[in-house]
Structure 1
Amino acid sequence: MDLLTALRTHRIVAIVRGDDADAALRTVLTLAEEGLALIEVSLSGKDTFDVIRRARAALGPTAPLGAGTVLAAEDARAVHDAGADFVVTPAVCEGVTEAKRLRLPVLAGVMTPADIVAAQRLGADAYKIFPAEQAGGPGYLKALRGPFPDAPFVPVGGVDAELARSYLARGAVAVGVGSPLIGDAADGGSLDALRERTRVFLDAVRLPTDAGR
């Protein structure tokens, strides 16, 4: 898949992690039903590889499906085998190198300018500013865009709907959203509440030219 184009088009990545694999799968499918196209299943959840396999079977071969918290080379190989077609890492690590070897696009976790340069050298497709809230929020993104004006940044960590608007207004190509969007759905919580939150976030990241569609 063309990850960078997908990020620029959809502007939000949902991060699903939970202690109930069946609930996590239901969460992925509900997000997709509501029109949220970019979904990442984090390896920090329970039975993640099984969730990815089942999600891939349910969504079909062409729907974007990512795997997150990919650190080691064996993680990258395992999620590739399970059916993920993009990888998200929390840092510049072996997972980036192996995913690129497997021709999987990578959203690589970065915090500092040195991290960004290292991720560029490894061929990362985009850069996940993590944890964005602790790094300084939208102001930090603005500062990074000085030396890296064309870098595709995706802030992750503590992003609510209002912050999503702020990050995108300051040049982020997309935002990554976990608990403010997912809530307790991946642990068996209300899917109706998840649907409502999904609509709020999709409205928050909608381009002005999308209004009225």
Structure 2
Amino acid sequence: MHPDDLLAALRGRRILAIVRGNDPDAALDAVLALFASGIDLVEVSLTTAGALDVLERARTALGPYAALGAGTLVTAADARAAARAGAAFAVTPGLTEAVGEAQSLGMPVLAGAVTPTEVASAWTEGATAVKLFPGSLGGPGYLKALRDPFPDIPFVPVGGVDAAAARDFLAVGALAVGVGGPLVGTAASLGGDTAGLAARAAAFRSLAEEFPCPTS
């Protein structure tokens, strides 16, 4: 995936689904259910049990062009393993060594940052977009303040983002939002909740459609 493709996906979808859980089969089912429900920009966290196998099986099922990424990449080894498993993009919790390694492997990076110094560093290091993490720490007001000195940096708040927070973040200029539990629910850990997941996916898609796509 080219960095421009990731930006286009974030801009067009506005919702990045985050799958994490303790059951590999349930996590795979959750990934496939998200794509089937129209949430077709998905990150599988490496904290998920059997995450690399989940990525490999999802890639096989979804094909080579699906916007499927790997998250919680901390080490260079994480980045290499994610690339081998079929991740198209990388997501990190902070400015870890995985940022540079993922880029060297051709994966665009959504790099985690929270302070202005970290945001500037992430952008200087070539992040495609900045994952504002944890988004709940400062909330939409903090993102609005950050956008004053960094108007051209695309931000994706992640962490503690439910439907209400997603709406507020998008309203103050987030390129997209990363949503885990409030969207996926228990589907990736306990399994079986695909009907509920589909309903929540529809609600988040409707929410995203309330906001025009930003230009940066």
Q: Which TM-score tier does this pair reach, normalised by the shorter chain? A: over 0.9
Match of 1:166 among 162, 165, 168: 168
| Distance of aligned partners of 1:92 and 1:209 in 2 relative to their CA distance in 1, 3 Å threshold | closer
1:177 matched to which residue of 2?
A: 179
Q: Give the Cα–Cα distance (whole angstroms) in 2 for the partners of residues 208 and 36 of structure 1.
A: 16
Distance 1:197 1:77 in 2: 33
Contact 1:130–1:157, Cα closer than 8 Å, also in 2:
yes
User: What residue is the counterpart of 1:72 in the other structure?
Assistant: 75
Residue aligning to 1:8? 11
Q: Quick one: which of 14, 17, 22 aligns to 1:19?
A: 22
Scaled by the length of structure 2, the TM-score of the pair is 0.94
Alignment partners' CA distance in 1, 2:139 and 2:192: 29
Give the superposition deviation at 1:186: 0.3
Q: 1:208: Cα distance to partner?
A: 5.1
Change (3 A) 1:35 1:207: same
Aligned to 1:125: 128
Q: Any conservation in 1 of the 2:123–2:153 contact (CA below 8 Å)?
A: no
What RMSD, in angstroms, separates the aligned Cα atoms of the two structures? 1.2
Q: Cα offset for 1:121?
A: 1.8
TM-score by length of 1: 0.95
Deviation at 1:189, TM superposition (A): 4.0
Cα distance between partner residues in 2 of 1:10 and 1:125: 16
Equivalent residues in 2 for 1:34-183 (5 A)? 34-134=37-137, 136-183=138-185
- The code of the aligned residue for 2:32 comes to L
**Which residue among 190, 196, 204 is the counterpart of 1:193?**
196
Identity %: 57
Shift of 1:118: 1.2
- Shift >4 Å, 4+ stretches: 207-210
Aligned residues: 209
The runs of 5 or more residues in structure 1 that have no matched partner are: none
- In the aligned structure 2, how far is the partner of 1:209 from the partner of 1:51? 33
In 2, Cα distance between equivalents of 1:39 and 1:203: 17
Aligned mates of 1:92, 1:76 — CA distance in 2: 13
> Does the aligned pair in 2 maintain the 1:162–1:204 contact within 8 Å?
no
The aligned amino acid for 2:107 is L
The corresponding residue for 1:31 is: 34
Task: For structure 2, list consecutive stretches of 5 or more residues without a partner in the other structure.
Answer: none
